[in-house]
Structure 1
Amino acid sequence: MALQEKLDKFKKQQEKCQSTLTSIAASNKSTIQKSTPVAAALSTNARTPAPAVKFSNDTERLQHINSIRKAPVGAQIKRVIDLLLETRQAFTPEQINESCHVDANANKAVFDSLRNNPKVHHDGKRFSYKSKYDLKDKSQLLYLIRKKPEGIAVIDLKDAYPTVMDDLQALKAAGQIWLLSNFDSQEDIAYPNDPRVPIMVDDDLKQLFRGIELPRDMIDIERDLQKNGMKPATNTAQRRARSEVQGLSSKPKPKKKKHEITKRTKLTNAHLPELFRNLGNNNS
């Protein structure tokens, strides 16, 4: 009985050894297969040398980057603000360097100017563009204009978001706002025109309004408005005073006296003799 147990134990050991030898053989085969392509590649590379690297190919790009970083601080700030305005995304200093080659981390003056610029928002990590009015779409634009019955300058809305100018024209075409030019600066002003409150004006009142003769001088018009408790949108007296200080007098220049044509006048328009045909008769 003891002999049979020893035989069984021996068979189990034989089977275990066979299994171990099989796994070792499989592992060696796989290693040989993986190493063969590597060896082939190494031998191929040994036969075909790699082309030499030409460092001069990148010279132009490096010179361009160097010229940007040596430019005045104002020029570098403009590059960054243009990037922020066009993308409307937030950038870390490293991302700004990658995008427009302005290294804010290495230039403290650039970094401080960016952080304190009124057109740039800095949250401690990233820089982003900051417009005067935080608007996203046409509905927010209309809501803002309706909150400003005194009008809002279009120049303050231009950079609110990329399609703001198209939305202003669309609101004007829909009759929801007015776009009028300022008398002094000739800049457009956006005024609300709420279509929910239509005003009907009689033809007699329109005719009476159009029949009123206004003073020829703008100062007189402003004075009359003030007498009636209204604030003029312009200040002509102040504008004229400023023009005189700058040497731009608003008074019309005296006209030069025209020289009369006489017999002594040298006629140069020989190709138009009919203009001077009766010259002698008129002056005789």
Structure 2
Amino acid sequence: MALKEQLNKFNKQYEKCQSTLSSIASSRPGPSTRPSSVVPAAISQKPAAPPVKFSNDTERLQFINSIRKGPVGAQIKRVIDLLFETRHAFTPEQINEQCYVDMNANKAVFESLRNNLKVHYDGRRFSYKAKHDVKDKNQLLSLVNKYPAGIAAIDLKDAYPNVMEDLQALKASGHIWLLSNADSQEDIAYPNDFKGQIQVDDDFKSLFRDIDIPSDMLDVEKELLKIGLKPVMNTAERRAAAQIHGMPNKPKQKKKKQEISKRTKLTNAHLPELFQTLNASSSRN
């Protein structure tokens, strides 16, 4: 009896499995819609990965790296050039953005700039420090007027970007004198102070004009030696050398005194007696 029950149970499970298989078979697509089992090789293969490309910013990064690994002196110059050209104050982070010098990471650069004579550091920002603190033409004129003995133009060059143009403008307007130093060949700026004009006694003027200057340089050098002054040139040696090389020695002829005319450029207006001849000719005309 038990065997018969087991057989019936088996038959029921078999029928259930057959029913399940039939439902699965009926749910599959037909032969016309069944995808082909043959796949072309070109499709079955995965597409090749694109070649690895370096970032377009690689060149810039290499340039930044070369700056930061460069000598301390070169990095200091780069920062000073930035401060000089812009005349702005920058924090270390802003300097890093502008010229790629990482001062926070390089303490040697930071300390050198903090103690540099051309750099001002207020505890947070760095800025350029010129030798003379002037910002425009009016301040430049005030500075020159404080130096009666003259101030070298080279000491004013870094005051602000167009300082040399303003210096020439002040010269052209007559506010200052800009003269070349005979020794250094550098321009010296002097104040044109009209208060310095003085009256000269007529007897002194006559004495000055009555001095007879020798026409021969040998006589001039002898007079200089008599009063203890050493002449710049040695005329005797130069003439001897000229004779040795067969060059005739021609004494310079004394130039004829030129009369002052209306077309003469007047530069000594503070000596009106020099123009008496001009005034006399003008009155005759």
- TM-score normalised by L of structure 2: 0.54
Describe the superposition over 1:114-148 as per-residue Cα deviations: whole angstroms up to 9, x where unpaired. Answer: 01110000011110000011111111111111111
**Paired residues for 1:109-258 under 5 Å:** 109-195=108-194, 205=205, 208=208, 213=213
User: What is the CA–CA distance in structure 1 between the aligned matches of 2:245 and 2:75, rounded to whole Å?
Assistant: 57
**How far has the Cα of 1:201 moved from its partner?**
7.0
Report the secondary structure of 2:88's partner residue.
coil
User: What is the CA–CA distance in structure 2 between the aligned matches of 1:186 and 1:100, rounded to whole Å?
Assistant: 36
Residues 101, 211 of structure 1: alpha-carbon distance in 2 compared, 3 angstrom cutoff? farther
**Letter of the 1:89 counterpart:** H
**How far has the Cα of 1:72 moved from its partner?**
1.4
Q: Which residue of 2 aligns with 1:43?
A: none
**Paired residues for 1:59-138 under 5 Å:** 59-138=58-137
Structure 2: state its 5+ residue gaps: 1-49, 215-219, 232-236, 247-285
| Number of residue-to-residue matches in the alignment | 183
Report the secondary structure of 2:56's partner residue.
helix
User: What is the CA–CA distance in structure 2 between the aligned matches of 1:128 and 1:210, rounded to whole Å?
Assistant: 60
**How far has the Cα of 1:194 moved from its partner?**
2.1
**Letter of the 1:67 counterpart:** S
Deviates more, 1:135-144 or 1:119-128: 135-144
Residues 205, 118 of structure 1: alpha-carbon distance in 2 compared, 3 angstrom cutoff? same
8 Å CA contact retained: 1:175, 1:195: no
8 Å CA contact retained: 1:80, 1:96: yes
Structure 1: state its 5+ residue gaps: 1-50, 225-235, 238-250, 260-284
- TM-score normalised by L of structure 1: 0.54
Larger Rg: 2
**Letter of the 2:93 counterpart:** E
User: What is the CA–CA distance in structure 2 between the aligned matches of 1:95 and 1:196, rounded to whole Å?
Assistant: 50
Residues 125, 138 of structure 1: alpha-carbon distance in 2 compared, 3 angstrom cutoff? same
Residues 211, 93 of structure 1: alpha-carbon distance in 2 compared, 3 angstrom cutoff? farther
Residues 81, 176 of structure 1: alpha-carbon distance in 2 compared, 3 angstrom cutoff? same
User: What is the CA–CA distance in structure 2 between the aligned matches of 1:120 and 1:255, rounded to whole Å?
Assistant: 56
User: What is the CA–CA distance in structure 1 between the aligned matches of 2:206 and 2:172, rounded to whole Å?
Assistant: 24
Q: Percent identity?
A: 66
